[in-house]
Amino acid sequence: MDYIVLDMEWNQPWPGSPSARKVLPVQIRGEIIQIGAVRVTEDQQVADEFQVLILPKYYRRLNRRVSKLTGIKESQLKENGVPMEEAMAAFREWCGEDVVFLTWGFDDITILRENLRLYGLEENWVSRWFNAQMIFNAQTDGSTAQKSLKSAMEIFGIEATRPAHDALGDAYHTALICAKLDLQKGTAEYGDALKSHVNGFHGAELPGCLDRKVFYDYADKRAALTAMSGKENKCPTCGRQMLGSRWFAQPGRRYMDLAACPDHGKFLIRVRLSEQADGTVRVSRLTYEATSEAAQTYARRAEKADPEDPRPSSRRRRIRKPE
């Protein structure tokens, strides 16, 4: 089995143009104009490469933003682009039978499948695929965000030797990252990584985290936070309802609160809200020890925000902690 690291560039109609109003038999987010791919063998050696330019059939005018980003010119596509059917046949032949696809992000395979469907081509051969970002997050210290290819390269100390936003260049750099991951483990544990991603955890809790849980279907932010500081605010040790203090907002629809159990002391609650498909709110909650770094962040924030004390926090601290 080989891993095929895939990257593509696609064209989109200019908003408001006649192409944008075209109704296609299959809805596509973009029409593929370039495919770049690099093979990584089962023992994780970066091997051969593939690239092809594709002559677009549905969105023939090249969007100038796409052109600027990718460096591809419309004249180039007309001269060197091959029809989609031909490009796909060549790509599939190059891939071989027993392959697993790796991409940086969730978009590429979705768009590839849409394009295959639009052209009436078989799409089952691309059904085994993984977003390498998720594997990367699971196997590094894992911040909460989907990392750009550039920042992932920096983390692994990989220097850019190929052009960015060129399908083969991006595929090559992604392949170098993939070669440093444990792909066998990463693909085997992909389900967990994906679940973490969907639930907003990204496998990225800080030290001192005692519990993680997801809650669904709150009408809005207020209802969600009320439940989190009310009936769902249970002590991780005894399960009794704790008393919350005050929510502080953090970037990315995150909030934190310090809760207390009369018997087991204080715990820091961090939640992240996200909208579900029907507009209701999902909550991903992490519970931390009061001695954790996360709880110290809360303490600093609470001190800064104390509404009853208008003095600057540096001065207040000096006054409150006399030598």
Contacting positions for Zn ion (CB under 5 A): 235, 237-238, 261, 263-264
Evaluate whether 164 touches 153 at the Cβ level (below 8 Å).
Answer: no
CB of 322 vs Zn ion, minimal distance in Å: 34
Choice between 137 and 287, CB closer to Zn ion:
287
CB of 290 vs Zn ion, minimal distance in Å: 12
- 320 Cβ neighbours under 8 A, 6+ residues apart: none
Choice between 123 and 289, CB closer to Zn ion:
289
CB of 47 vs Zn ion, minimal distance in Å: 56
d(CA 232, CA 234): 6
CB of 266 vs Zn ion, minimal distance in Å: 11
Choice between 204 and 210, CB closer to Zn ion:
210
Choice between 201 and 267, CB closer to Zn ion:
267
Classified as helix, coil or strand, 5 is strand
Nearest residue to Zn ion by CB is: 235
CB of 146 vs Zn ion, minimal distance in Å: 36
CB of 296 vs Zn ion, minimal distance in Å: 21
Choice between 128 and 234, CB closer to Zn ion:
234
CB of 237 vs Zn ion, minimal distance in Å: 4
CB of 246 vs Zn ion, minimal distance in Å: 20
Beta strands in the chain (DSSP E): 2-11, 31-41, 46-53, 99-103, 129-131, 209-218, 243-244, 248-250, 254-261, 265-275, 281-289
Choice between 89 and 238, CB closer to Zn ion:
238
- 191 Cβ neighbours under 8 A, 6+ residues apart: none
d(CA 297, CA 300): 5
Q: Which two tokens stand for residue 303?
A: 């001190």
Strand partners, 38: 5, 49
Which of 223, 231, 233 lies closest to 256, judged by CA? 233
Q: Please state the length of the chain.
A: 323
Choice between 119 and 267, CB closer to Zn ion:
267
Half-sphere exposure of 264 (CA within 13 A, CB side): 17
Choice between 95 and 242, CB closer to Zn ion:
242
Evaluate whether 196 touches 203 at the Cβ level (below 8 Å).
Answer: yes
Evaluate whether 35 touches 3 at the Cβ level (below 8 Å).
Answer: no
CB of 224 vs Zn ion, minimal distance in Å: 23
Evaluate whether 107 touches 32 at the Cβ level (below 8 Å).
Answer: no
Q: In one letter, which amino acid is 225? A: L
Choice between 213 and 264, CB closer to Zn ion:
264
d(CA 98, CA 282): 38
